[in-house]
Structure 1
Amino acid sequence: MVKSSVLGYPRIGENREWKKALEAFWAGKLEESELHTQLQEIRLNHLRKQQEKGIDIIPVNDFSYYDHVLDTAAMFGIVPKRFAYTGSVVPVSVYYGIARGTKDAAASEMTKWFNTNYHYIVPELNEAQPVLTENRPLQAYREAKEKLGIEGKPVIVGPLTFLKLSKGYKATETDAWLDRLLPLYVQLLQELESEGVQWVQIDEPILTTKLSGDDLQRLKTIYVTIAAKVPALNIMLQTYFESVDNYNDIVTLPVKGIGLDFVHGLSGNLSSIKALGFPQDKVLGAGVIDGRGIWRAALGEKLGLLEELAELVTAERLIVQSSCSLLHVPVSTDRETKLPSELKDALAFADEKLGELVLLSTAVSKGGSAIAGELKECDRALQVLKLSNARNRKDVQDAVALISTKQPERSKPFAERHTAQQKKWQLPLFPTTTIGSFPQSAEVRKSRQLWRKGEWSDEQYAAFIREQIDIWIKLQEETGLDVLVHGEFERTDMVEFFGEKLEGFAFTQNGWVQSYGSRCVKPPIIYGDVAYKDAMTVEETVYAQSKTTRPVKGMLTGPITILNWSFVREDITREQVAYQLAYGIRQEVEALEQAGIGMIQVDEPAVREGLPLKEEEHANYLSWAVKAFRISTCTVKDTTQIHTHMCYCEFHDMIDSIEAMDADVISIETSRSHGEMIHSFEENTYKLGIGLGVYDIHSPRVPAVEEMTDMIDRALHVLDPKLFWINPDCGLKTRGYEETISSLRNMVEATKLAREKYTAFV
């Protein structure tokens, strides 16, 4: 009988119970003991669900109190020195301090988990003396067995992936760090082996990226050592998000199973197996159900693929799996009562994917006739969506085909635009601004709910939004900011807001996924052709501008970010969808300009996360991503200043593409990475306007003036002062009122000091 398994399950709960528990604890409304109790119940419910669905091999230790990479670091006692941690088991207060910062210590850096929208906390090795503080996988295994009778599969972040994703050591120290960490992994696995654990999933997604010869030797050292020290334990060496390049090096490792992605890495992985075979002493974890997408699987095609793999590998050595953890998709479609039937019938969230896995494992074992009814229903649902009016908008397709054949360019180069813009705006040295959003208080959220429920009229809601704009325009002026924003109080989410106003989108009621920590997002679904309807942001922006003599930026989300932060249709290419989005955003840019708004910010924080894992695919992606941005912004006048924003990614390898976007001003996160972004500009020149964020908005702490001054000074060693802006790292939506005002005042004070220091040299 072919078995089924998943690589991980969403943590957040059907009603985001996980998020609510964490935030109640952080707010001091929940005792630590109650936090543990509530999270255990959530965790056990997830295991019960998988058990009831019929999953054969259920993962444990995929649950987290914040982030699985942070869990691994804490398990090994790797805590930054600034948190003054001593002892063995890392307490919850220190654990959350690393993630969120404390009054006295900045949070650790946060960045994207490969090419997904999930963020992990970057481990800081530095002077750490790692030790196994507690065996979390063993605790999770025992809990599942004792409470539910489940023979769980502990999930662990692999040594090579953990090391490659960490910071705080030199390349020459890599082997020394491996020598410190590997014995701890061995100790952990030996304890699991002694407990009688049957399978352990060791996640090594780093194997789908480009590895050096030294890294391949380290990989071999790791798993040869583990095999020698823990001979009785079945290791499933798990890869995902792409195909593996070094197939032979990986499948010859002394492990019991190899997990491969047959969704996003289908072509490469399948061709490798066909050309080079698969070892007869190993089990193949076949990731055929998309762990990142929300579309119903074409079961007939998946069954055909599994039958082909069964011939190559043999059915008894096959486990039917998700392509990656289901962490990246919503929990269930059960409560989605408002979606069009043609769309809902074509969706599969985490729980539905569990059912697909069980169906496919049954079909491979018993033949396709065992699921004939399900196959027929699947084909019908997918065909209905394919033929729908939403996916066949000839007006959109023709217009986008026309604009995408031309090279989008501003009418004049940046140097000439900059001169014209300076003459128009008369901005001081080091202009100050924010990224766009201001705190969305409970009052703001409640007003939106009242309006959405119909308890408030459109007029009442619009009046409330204007009141908030009035308050924050005045506060920005009092604080001393040079370029203002309206605050985005009418917006739920920077992608959802625009999706609601464009055609071709659909929105779930409960389609939440974890982005970072307790931050959950509800990505829109791009299921049809994207079309512009009416002005989306003009009313609020024009109102804000009427309340001040200082410039107010129009605030839009860029096409690539909307693309990368949405669940996207799969019947056309992502490039085609990006151009449809760009055409829609262009029409809004033009509407803002026509309404008298002369500074327009088109945010693209998610450009880098869409970068393919394979280096050979980078150039093509960046080419059409840059083109989409320029389609959005190229038609404005020379004096109209285009801003953009990017955050929490490593940009050092795409500086040229950022410059090619030709935005007049770009703001980039700097502070949480402790200024490492500045190093990119020490090695690469940048000739356009730029603002490197001088404080971290994801932490509740108020940074001191001196901290920001240090960041400004370092940046000005490598950037042109005449083109330098000063701003926070990101939007301030999630922050509180007092901390926002205090932080911005300190930022303005740091700017004043910088102007006094540098004016004579400009």
Structure 2
Amino acid sequence: MKTLLPTSTSGSLPKPAWLAQPEQLWSPWKLAQDILPEGKHDALKLSLHEQQCAGIDIVCDGEQTRQHFVTAFIEHLSGVDFENRETVTIRNRYEASVPRVIGAVKRTRPVFVEDAKFLRSQTSQPIKWALPGPMTMIDTLYDAHYKSREKLAWEFAKILNQEAKELEAAGVDIIQFDEPAFNVFFDDVNEWGVAALERAIKGLKCETAVHICYGYGIKANTDWKKTLGEEWRQYETIFPKLQKSNIDIISLECHNSKVPLELMELIRGKKVMVGAIDVANHDIETPEEVATTLRKALKFVDADKLYPCTNCGMAPLPRHVARAKLSALAAGAELVRQELVQ
């Protein structure tokens, strides 16, 4: 029997302190190279256990084997130079030292497939795997070869499709593409961004999702949000195109945001992962607060298509905070679930 209001996370969860420095992105590994793979899988099992203890229905790897949700994929591709970096402004918001594309990008071997097989072997629950989206990938590096955002995105889309097909074969139930760049480059999204995403999911039979949020709870993102005014209407520009796409699920930010909830009407008919947990502060939501967000969303999303979720990844949060937030998410969803079945 299918679970009503199945809960999930957006992707990343905090890493244990013995694996990497807590509460920061791009945190260097603490383990030596020869024992790092085992340590990553130990952390993956721990992250899975914490999701299960919290009552999460659709589980993931917590991105325990990756330093960053984008560069951890790019570093496995040929044609990219990680030694001679460039500083770029990511999503028009903050500067970062990133790798350079110096030749034709190619996937010479699977990137996350073995990790996905390991996760699949640890649980019978539905599993979700996150990949970076093509547009967000090109915004997280310096292109010295293609000199065209669209051309490079298309090459990445083809590479992502190769990886996604192998993840599907490994038993992944939902493949999610993270596209925070969709909330910034609206013209590109509508002109070729959604088309590139469609290329990335071509031929897949498992469910597909696109996660579009306002970013991790880091200062650059929270400062940016303060400039967006009383209503955040970015989704309004891109939802109509996504509603017509073949993507099954759209994941968005909701709780503690200024996104007008009626914008979800623009994707009526799609499954929606509604962010009911704020990742930008350490306050623990109560189950009732989560339930209130979900009840509001149900005005615009059919109950059988609503997936309670987190606003974004929780890698920068303390582990105890993330655990408590996950428990609140599951408990809040259960409150609404009981109301719906009465």
Q: What is the TM-score of this pair, normalised by structure 2?
A: 0.86
Identify the structure with the greater helix proportion: 1
Match of 2:333 in 1: 751
Alignment partner for residue 29 of structure 2, among 431, 444, 449? 449
Change beyond 3 A, Cα 1:506–1:544: same
Following superposition, the deviation at residue 628 of structure 1 comes to: 0.7
Change beyond 3 A, Cα 1:569–1:677: farther
- What percent of counterpart residues are identical? 24
2:200 matches 1:632: yes
Following superposition, the deviation at residue 513 of structure 1 comes to: 6.4
Identify the structure with the greater strand proportion: 2
Alignment partner for residue 670 of structure 1, among 248, 251, 254? 254
Match of 2:208 in 1: 642
Give the Cα–Cα distance (whole angstroms) in 2 for the partners of residues 653 and 536 of structure 1: 33
2:117 matches 1:537: no
Give the Cα–Cα distance (whole angstroms) in 2 for the partners of residues 759 and 526 of structure 1: 53
User: Does structure 2 conserve the Cα–Cα contact (< 8 Å) formed by 1:495 and 1:523?
Assistant: no
User: Does structure 2 conserve the Cα–Cα contact (< 8 Å) formed by 1:435 and 1:729?
Assistant: yes
Following superposition, the deviation at residue 717 of structure 1 comes to: 1.1
Give the Cα–Cα distance (whole angstroms) in 2 for the partners of residues 670 and 593 of structure 1: 29
Give the Cα–Cα distance (whole angstroms) in 1 for the partners of residues 251 and 267 of structure 2: 16
Letter in 1 for 2:213: C
Change beyond 3 A, Cα 1:621–1:555: closer
Give the Cα–Cα distance (whole angstroms) in 2 for the partners of residues 588 and 461 of structure 1: 23
Match of 2:158 in 1: 583
Following superposition, the deviation at residue 621 of structure 1 comes to: 4.9
Alignment partner for residue 709 of structure 1, among 286, 291, 296? 291
Following superposition, the deviation at residue 698 of structure 1 comes to: 1.7
Task: Give runs of aligned pairs for residues 583-662 of structure 1, distance below 5 A.
Answer: 583-611=158-186, 618=187, 621-637=189-205, 640-648=206-214, 650-662=234-246
Match of 2:273 in 1: 691
Letter in 1 for 2:54: T
Letter in 2 for 1:633: I
Following superposition, the deviation at residue 535 of structure 1 comes to: 0.5
Task: Give runs of aligned pairs for residues 63-462 of structure 1, distance below 5 A.
Answer: 426-445=1-20, 448-450=28-30, 455-457=32-34, 460-462=35-37
Following superposition, the deviation at residue 521 of structure 1 comes to: 4.2
Deviations 1:177-213, CA, capped at 9 Å, x for gaps:
xxxxxxxxxxxxxxxxxxxxxxxxxxxxxxxxxxxxx
Alignment partner for residue 726 of structure 1, among 279, 301, 308? 308
Match of 2:75 in 1: 500
Letter in 2 for 1:642: T
Letter in 2 for 1:456: Q
Give the Cα–Cα distance (whole angstroms) in 2 for the partners of residues 536 and 747 of structure 1: 31
Match of 2:55 in 1: 480
Larger radius of gyration between Structure 1 and Structure 2: 1
RMSD, aligned CA: 2.4
User: Does structure 1 conserve the Cα–Cα contact (< 8 Å) formed by 2:287 and 2:329?
Assistant: yes
Match of 2:24 in 1: none
Segments of structure 1 that go 5 or more residues without pairing to the other structure are: 1-425, 612-617
Match of 1:287 in 2: none
Aligned pairs, number: 318
Letter in 2 for 1:708: V
Give the secondary-structure state (helix, strand or coil) at the position aligned to 2:129.
Answer: strand
Give the Cα–Cα distance (whole angstroms) in 2 for the partners of residues 543 and 705 of structure 1: 32
Give the secondary-structure state (helix, strand or coil) at the position aligned to 1:473.
Answer: helix
User: Does structure 2 conserve the Cα–Cα contact (< 8 Å) formed by 1:506 and 1:525?
Assistant: yes
Give the Cα–Cα distance (whole angstroms) in 2 for the partners of residues 712 and 673 of structure 1: 14
Give the Cα–Cα distance (whole angstroms) in 2 for the partners of residues 586 and 534 of structure 1: 13
Give the Cα–Cα distance (whole angstroms) in 2 for the partners of residues 515 and 687 of structure 1: 32
Following superposition, the deviation at residue 538 of structure 1 comes to: 0.8
- Structure with more relative contact order (C-alpha pairs < 8 Å, separation 6 or more): 2
Following superposition, the deviation at residue 569 of structure 1 comes to: 3.2
Change beyond 3 A, Cα 1:685–1:484: closer
Letter in 2 for 1:531: K
Letter in 2 for 1:632: A
Give the Cα–Cα distance (whole angstroms) in 2 for the partners of residues 478 and 501 of structure 1: 33
Give the Cα–Cα distance (whole angstroms) in 1 for the partners of residues 95 and 113 of structure 2: 28
Change beyond 3 A, Cα 1:505–1:757: same
Give the Cα–Cα distance (whole angstroms) in 2 for the partners of residues 463 and 558 of structure 1: 28
Give the secondary-structure state (helix, strand or coil) at the position aligned to 2:80.
Answer: strand
Change beyond 3 A, Cα 1:468–1:433: same
Deviations 1:466-510, CA, capped at 9 Å, x for gaps:
111111211111111110001111211111111101122222577
Following superposition, the deviation at residue 723 of structure 1 comes to: 0.5
Deviations 1:209-245, CA, capped at 9 Å, x for gaps:
xxxxxxxxxxxxxxxxxxxxxxxxxxxxxxxxxxxxx
Match of 1:359 in 2: none
Following superposition, the deviation at residue 512 of structure 1 comes to: 6.0
Change beyond 3 A, Cα 1:522–1:704: farther
User: Does structure 2 conserve the Cα–Cα contact (< 8 Å) formed by 1:652 and 1:677?
Assistant: no
